[in-house]
Structure 1
């Protein structure tokens, strides 16, 4: 398997999901702007999303994927299927309990994330939280299905799945908003309906893909089957690994919760501003970090199971080179070209010029540490593949404390943009700390050529960044809102030119681009 081709295919599908995600946020910005009710939706959506990242795609995936890959490598498909059946049974019943508890305790959860909201905004947030909480149940089962498909090297469906959430949310917003207005229902609730519909669709699309590889889980619906599933040794092993993993992931999510809490006290629209910046930050993270992590984790786990440490180190080294070559120019773009991107994507309808400037400043905060945010997605699997959950946990705790220390210093000075800057700077420390640990253990041995690679990448980024900075200041991107097509065309032209300049500079510096991206396993 060509790892770059696999990662590229995932990245392309992930790009599609992020483009539809941008469309979702554009629709929300145009219909509701950076308003109190939009803040309510994002907090309500963030609650099940936090739990999804904490348990489904976070601690569970970190514990389950390496075990799944190692079980298949050592014992074959039959034993692996039995493990999947047991885990799916336990997960289904656990999610039923969690969703019930979440719906009941919605007021407490909203207070924990946004105690600064006024009474009407809080009430709307609680209602939408209850509408959307079952989404976490759907996404937990989607995470299990994605782990199975990725282990079988079926990467397309897991990468495509988020598109369904975005499409359903956009459709619901456009179709239901006027209906809700006519019937006296808060219009932003239409997006909550779209989220739940998207969760069901994302789960449904997994079934045919699992059937094709004969890996559809057989979920036990009786008490005896549930007890048998709990008794499976793999379930106990996953739960034991999830303990440290939950703590490790939760410290990152706790930082996001604290940021939401701080933002809720910075005035109406602050939470929405963070969301729009998050959307732009997640584009490169998903296209690079998530895609590389999805490809590398099963391969690293299989290499660890066979104790092939040379291959293990080679996989990590290749992933880190991709982070440098592809993540660094994205960071330069967010730092130098944030306002034109934000203005073109969101500045219309209820989304004002002032909101665009705030969102651009927050986006630049993410650009300052984007290389760390992407790098963590590649470095952390180096630990999870060895089923070492404790080291990322300890590092995560230290990074969380650093993030909040930076917030204490920067928020009074920079406002909302300080929240993104603190997270991104701490992410650099996170990635560097984890990478140093892998090198110290000699599980990552840098291949020759790193100093020259860094010089070439920095030179290409400097040339590209200078051009982007000139383009950002050379046009009034907010005033160009009167000519939407012209502004969009100009943005596409500048970004295309920037890509050509970056890779052209790399080629002129003597780099063989085809050889640099190639990795066979």
Structure 2
């Protein structure tokens, strides 16, 4: 009965995360549409996207990595042991040290932002000057959401997933309305002010929700009876890996800035479209699987670890494979209907769709790689996962350089990314074979085969649609085209659900029972 109750709670948590992430991704697309409509794919848009990418990458160091690797397990353990006082003190310590790290970054961006952007970009002097004005605002946003990440991590430790995943919606809403209504008065700086306000709203909302559990922002420096050192140790190792990812992102955007005008914006928009299905489904499954994997490892339950890993991989495939197929064949239509308005032309939409398709080809294997990385974290193999992350990013950068030298243009960037993940996926599977060996897992092979077969009807329908070479979407974003796209998407969804029903592939069930696993 207890296992059934726990499964019900984790399923509800996954659904809450999924719905919140869907709302966040949809608002992200609306935000991209507003930015594209107002700024087009101009040089100004390139500067905005390029400069905003700087704090967005640093977020991996001060937010995502810390929460996923160390904060949630540490706070969950303290709360489980009834050490609420230690939990409150650890919260104060982490917020204090986070502020000590972030305040100098904000000051450096104000005094040396121009030199930094000039160093890492290929922009002209006017573009560099604009980037230097934007960067301090964006870095304050970084400080706000990094503190918010600590707040959200503690909220999740209290099993409050809903508010943790709702808070980012405030940022998107701020940018949407700020850029739409302030640009006539502030120009490109409307993005700066909207980002600043959005970041503060996001962090404040999370903190207000957290205060209900007794947490308060106050300075603290002495470790006391908290596990501060292990948390910092785990965080530091992940930061190294995330730091390498930041470097790779900066290099990627540098390569994009050397291509034709609009390439930075096209690549940024392609990432938004790709992250919509990937972020929704991967977050929903991985966010609740990591604690389960960590608990199974701590208790020495190797079969449970294998079951959770297998179930996560099969579910990721069952959700991401059809999503990737459908979006691949509707990539041009989707981008045009959503973004092609105002100063964003058909040619800009075509360039974005071109950058999007390689991402989609590797979406499933990328999720497998990310899931196995979390398996490594659950077994406290932080150093090994950091080394693998360094190798993957090194291969990514090398392949980008080679492909661009070959003249492959903007597809060089997502193609190099996808191939690097595939290469390291094989290495990662071999390295973690003592925890879980996918090559020897017959249940995994049966489950994946069933998903692959179930996707054949979806692929056939998409190929049939593509054979007509339709051009209805070329008129861009309007109500007629939106309704047509919705109708086609609805038809694809019907085929998806019917096919999965016939082949008995389950959806939205990332925590299958042992009985179900045995029947695969």
**TM-score clears 0.5:** yes
1:191 maps to what in 2?
191
Partners of 2:495 and 2:458 lie apart in 1 by: 6
Distance 1:495 1:279, change over 3 A: same
> Compared with structure 1, are the counterparts of its residues 489 and 190 closer, same or farther at alpha carbon in structure 2 (3 Å cutoff)?
same
Distance 1:134 1:344, change over 3 A: same
Contact 2:238/2:386, CA 8 A, preserved across alignment: yes
How far apart in 2 are the matches of 1:11 and 1:377?
18
CA offset at residue 106 of structure 1? 1.5
Q: How many residues align?
A: 505
Distance verdict in 2 for CA 1:472–1:350, change over 3 Å? farther
Are the structure 2 counterparts of residues 173 and 451 from structure 1 closer, same or farther at C-alpha, using a change threshold of 3 Å?
same
Aligned counterparts of 2:61 and 2:345: Cα–Cα separation in 1:
34
Gaps of 5+ in 1: 181-186
Q: Which residue does the alignment assign to 1:134? A: 140
Higher mean C-alpha deviation, range 499-508 or range 465-474: 465-474
Distance 1:69 1:312 in 2: 19
Say if 2:243 is the partner of 1:250. Answer: yes
1:370 aligns with 2:363: yes
Partners of 1:339 and 1:472 within 8 A in 2: no
User: Conserved in 2, the CA contact under 8 Å of 1:289 and 1:374?
Assistant: yes
Contact 1:43 1:110 in 2 (8 A): no
1:13 aligns with 2:50: no
- The residue number in structure 2 matching 1:37 is 44
Matched, 1:424 2:431: no
Q: Report what 1:98 is aligned to.
A: 105
1:120-519 paired onto structure 2 within 5 Å: 120-180=126-186, 187-212=187-212, 214-220=213-219, 225-226=220-221, 228-229=222-223, 234-411=227-404, 412-442=406-436, 449-472=443-466, 474=468, 475-481=470-476, 484-509=478-503, 511=504, 513=506, 517-519=510-512
Q: Quick check: 1:292–1:377 contact (8 Å CA) kept in 2?
A: no
SS at match of 2:433: helix
Q: Would the aligned equivalents of 1:372 and 1:429 in 2 still touch at CA under 8 Å? A: no
Tell me if the contact between 2:336 and 2:349 (Cα under 8 Å) persists in the aligned partners: yes
CA distance in 2, matches of 1:515, 1:278: 24
Q: How far has the Cα of 1:97 moved from its partner?
A: 2.6
74, 79, 85: which one aligns with 1:67? 74
CA distance in 2, matches of 1:275, 1:61: 24
How many Å separate the matches in 1 of 2:439 and 2:208? 41
1:97-145 CA distance string (max 9 Å, x none) = 332233333124313431x111111111111012221111111111111
- Unaligned 5+ residue runs, structure 2? 1-5, 515-520
- Cross-structure match for 2:517: none
CA deviation digits over 1:6-59, x for unaligned, max 9? 212211110101111100100111111111100111111111111111222124
Q: Deviations over 1:66-112 (max 9, x none)?
A: 33333434564333333222222222233223322333331243134
- Distance in 1 separating the partners of 2:505 and 2:455: 17
Backbone CA RMSD of aligned residues? 2.4
The residue matched to 2:54 in structure 1 has which SS?
helix
**Pair 100,262 (structure 1): closer, same or farther in 2 beyond 3 Å:** same
Tell me: CA distance 1:198–1:446, structure 2 relative to 1, closer, same or farther (3 Å): farther
Contact in 1 for aligned 2:473/2:481 (Cα 8 Å): no
CA distance in 2, matches of 1:457, 1:192: 45
User: 1:146/1:247 Cα in 2 relative to 1: closer, same or farther (>3 Å)?
Assistant: same
SS of the residue corresponding to residue 266 of structure 1 reads coil
Q: Distance in 1 between matches of 2:118 and 2:417?
A: 22
Distance 2:226 2:351 in 1: 51
